[in-house]
């Protein structure tokens, strides 16, 4: 009896542990979040009634790779928000490690570059941790399935950070076109060199 | 008959001189050694009984640049017959000459640097370590002969670097 309780509590502790460390993989159901946008209003996925899915981009102001991709993120929203896949950008960098990523600097960037999508401040870094985002930029293509939001693609926007004209694999866009065709993306996970998310020093 | 022959010889000499000069110039302007995906995979599978320390960095990466002085000191103080260091720059090939070469010169870095030419990162990141998401700085310590494979996908300070090296010797 005692052993059984021990085993049960061990299994339970495993669940608690992995729960805290959740890192979304393709096929996982995403739980909603609510983060402050650069216009001071909170944004959550549930607000998007007519969306078929989302392009969640973990990005920031300060990372040169994220800067290389900035115009491509703007382009993604232009191309896919009319197809009900809007971009939601999230900045999870700790302002103490990366001063250029303060909420005020985010507001300036969103204004200067005329962001047509939310640019959210993940101050506690809880959303980045829950998603398992490690880099900037780091993209999650999500699709609605009934009342659930499911991860369909994780990784890079395309395969050439330096020069978008040389990118011959448009991973994120291809994934969304597959989903719109009712198919699973041919490539559902990729990796790319990028800045690490600047985690709070504990 | 004599003059044209002399002309031809002169022209040939001139061409040889120009060729030599241009090859010297290209060596200088492309002073950074390039590394392809195949070469990287070769290095990662090097079977010699030696500790290899491979650091992935870029001049655009703040935390990478910050840890390089500690790496240089450690390289200087380490027995090269036991430990082999390699610093793989992931600078964008388009601005390597403009940024990487002057950066190394300015900081007097003498460690072994090469520039990764394969920018389709997804094609080789898993070869380094399957757990790596591509965030830099990242450092791999390995000795295939002794089945040592220790990957650190974050900054390393000097005490930690020295401790890690010693623990694998």
Which residues on chain A are in Cβ contact (under 8 Å) with B100? none
Q: Are A139 and A156 in contact (CB under 8 A)?
A: yes
B24 and B39 fall within a common domain: no
Same domain, B11 and B68: no
Sign of torsion, CA A157 A173 B129 A23? positive
Domain span including residue B12: 1-30
Query: What is the four-CA torsion angle of B156, B161, B163, B165, rounded to 10 degrees?
Result: 130
**What's the pTM value of the predicted model, to 2 decimals?**
0.84
More confident residue, B9 or A8: B9
- Where are chain A's structural domains? 23-196
Tokens of B158: 């000097």
Q: Right CATH number for A23-196 from 3.90.76.10, 3.10.450.50, 3.40.30.10, 3.30.470.20? A: 3.40.30.10
The predicted-structure confidence for B118-144, as pLDDT tens digits, reads as follows 999 999 999 999 999 999 999 999 999
Q: Are A64 and A195 in contact (CB under 8 A)?
A: yes
* Closest-CA residue to A139 (of A24, A45, A18): A24
> What's the pLDDT score for residue A135?
94
Given a cut of 90, whether residue A3 has pLDDT beyond it is: no
Same domain, residue pair B1 and B49: no
Please classify residue A35 by burial: count the beta carbons closer than 10 Å to its beta carbon, then call 0-12 exposed, 13-18 middle and 19+ buried.
Answer: buried
Do residues A48 and A177 make contact, with C-beta atoms less than 8 angstroms apart? no
Dihedral Cα A89, A93, A95, A97, nearest 10 deg:
-150
Q: Are residues B39 and B98 in the same domain?
A: yes
Task: Label residue B97 by pLDDT band (50, 70, 90).
Answer: confident
Higher pLDDT, B38 or B30: B38
Residues B66 and B18 placed together within one structural domain of the fold: no
Please give the tally of structural domains in chain B: 2
B125–A192 CB contact, under 8 Å: yes
Which of B63, B118, B121 would you mutate first to test chain A, the one with the most A CBs within 10 A?
B121
Spacing of C-alpha B49 from chain mean position: 21
Please answer yes or no on whether B121 and A197 come within 8 Å at the CB atom: no
Phi, psi of A56 (to 5 degrees): -90, 120
Q: Distance between CA atoms of B104 and B109, rounded to whole angstroms?
A: 5
Say if strands A53-58 and A87-91 run parallel, antiparallel, or are unpaired. parallel
Segment A41-75, tens digit of pLDDT? 999 999 999 999 999 999 999 999 999 999 999 99
Judged against a pLDDT cut of 90, whether residue B21 lies above it is answered with: no
Average pLDDT over residues B147-161: 96
pLDDT at B19: 58
Instruction: Say if residue B76 is in the same domain as residue B154.
Output: yes
Across the interface, of B92, B93, B134, the residue whose CB is closest to A194 is: B134
B70 and B10, same structural domain? no
Residue B44 sits in the same domain as residue B64:
yes
Same domain? B40 vs B108 = yes
At B75 the pLDDT is 97
Residues A122-125: contacts with CB within 8 Å, 24+ apart? A122/A35, A122/A90, A122/A91, A122/A92, A123/A36, A125/A92, A125/A94, A125/A197, A125/A199, A125/A200
Using the predicted structure, report yes or no on whether residue A6 has a pLDDT greater than 60: no
CATH code for position B139? 3.40.30.10
Q: State residue B14's pLDDT score.
A: 66
């Amino acid at each position: 009896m005692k052993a059984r309780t021990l085993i049960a509590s061990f299994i339970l502790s495993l669940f608690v542990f992995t729960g805290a460390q959740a890192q979304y993989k393709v096929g996982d159901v995403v739980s909603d979040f609510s983060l402050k946008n650069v216009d001071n209003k909170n944004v959550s996925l549930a607000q998007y009634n007519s969306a078929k899915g989302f392009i969640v981009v973990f990005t920031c102001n300060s990372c040169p790779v994220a800067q290389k991709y900035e115009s491509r993120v703007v382009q993604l929203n232009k191309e896919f928000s009319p197809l009900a896949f809007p971009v939601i950008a999230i900045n999870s960098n700790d302002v103490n490690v990366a001063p250029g990523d303060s909420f005020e600097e985010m507001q300036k960037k969103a204004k200067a570059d005329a962001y047509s999508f939310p640019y959210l401040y993940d101050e506690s870094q809880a959303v980045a941790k829950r998603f398992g985002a490690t880099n900037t930029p780091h993209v999650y293509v999500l699709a609605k399935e009934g009342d659930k939001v499911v991860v369909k693609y994780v990784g890079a926007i395309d395969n050439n950070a330096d020069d978008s004209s040389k990118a011959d694999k448009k991973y994120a866009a291809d994934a969304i076109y597959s989903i719109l065709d009712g198919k699973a993306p041919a490539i559902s996970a990729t990796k790319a060199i990028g800045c690490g998310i600047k985690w709070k020093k504990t | 008959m004599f003059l044209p022959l002399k002309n031809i010889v002169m022209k040939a000499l001139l061409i040889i001189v120009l060729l030599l000069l241009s090859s010297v110039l290209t060596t200088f302007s492309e002073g950074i050694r390039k590394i392809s995906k195949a070469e990287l995979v070769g290095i990662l599978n090097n079977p010699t009984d030696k500790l290899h320390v491979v650091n992935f960095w870029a001049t655009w990466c703040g935390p990478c640049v910050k840890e390089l002085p500690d790496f240089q000191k450690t390289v200087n103080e380490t027995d090269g017959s036991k430990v082999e260091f390699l610093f793989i720059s992931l600078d964008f090939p388009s601005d390597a000459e403009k940024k990487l070469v002057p950066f190394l010169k300015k900081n007097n870095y003498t460690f072994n640097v090469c520039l990764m030419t394969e920018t389709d990162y997804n094609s080789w990141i898993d070869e380094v370590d399957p757990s790596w998401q591509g965030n830099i700085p990242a450092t791999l310590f390995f000795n295939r002969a002794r089945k040592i494979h220790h990957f650190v996908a974050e900054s390393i300070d000097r005490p930690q670097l020295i401790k890690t090296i010693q623990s694998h010797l």
